[in-house]
Amino acid sequence: SLTPLALAQRHHDPLTDAEIDQLREAAQLPEQRLKLYVTFARERLDGVEKVQHDPKVTNHGDATHDQLQRFVDVYDELNDNVDTFAERRDDIRKVLQVIINADTEFQSKLRALQSSATARSAEAGTYEFLLSNAVDAVDQGAKDHKQTLQEQEEEAKHKKLIKPK
């Protein structure tokens, strides 16, 4: 079993050591790096659905909250990386399409979770606020990603983007 300190440390870093290694290897490869973040965010969101239906989980509310927090943390890192690559003028148009499609998927899953949370209001109280924040974050992220894609398309017309290697 994990000590409270190990649990606290695990909670703060939303990524596993293996995921961190994968990201490190893709540090200079914007497309690959951003696709990894999409994969990791999707896994966290799938984890939310799993804990909700896992009969071994004793406190579904807390477990859902923790998984949701991991999703939000990874999604925030995805957004930070999109911003960084866009500011560096890396051409991320192709992967932005992947991200925008993922945003739509994430929005759908989060809204479904909101609907089911209403049905189980007792345990949903522990994660309702975070869920609302997650929905807002993905809605804003989707808008930002579309805006970044438009800006990138404009910059590409003027040959201001750095092509992927």
Is there a domain that residue 149 lies in? Answer: yes
**CB-hemisphere CA count at 13 Å for 119?**
7
Is there a domain that residue 68 lies in? Answer: yes
Alpha-carbon gap, residue 144 to 148, rounded angstroms: 6
Is there a domain that residue 16 lies in? Answer: yes
User: How many domains are contained in the chain?
Assistant: 1
Q: Are 77 and 37 contacting, i.e. CB atoms less than 8 angstroms apart?
A: yes
Confidence (pLDDT) at 165: 67
Token duo for residue 89: 């003028």
The residues, any chain, with a CB within 8 Å of residue 131's CB and separated by 6 or more, are 68, 110, 113, 114, 117, 124
In this prediction, residue 2 has a pLDDT band, given cuts at 50, 70 and 90, of: very low
Is there a domain that residue 28 lies in? Answer: yes
Domain region containing 54 = 4-157
Confidence (pLDDT) at 42: 98
Is there a domain that residue 164 lies in? Answer: no
Is there a domain that residue 165 lies in? Answer: no
pLDDT tens-digit map of 44-92 = 999 999 998 888 988 888 999 999 999 999 999 999 999 999 999 999 9
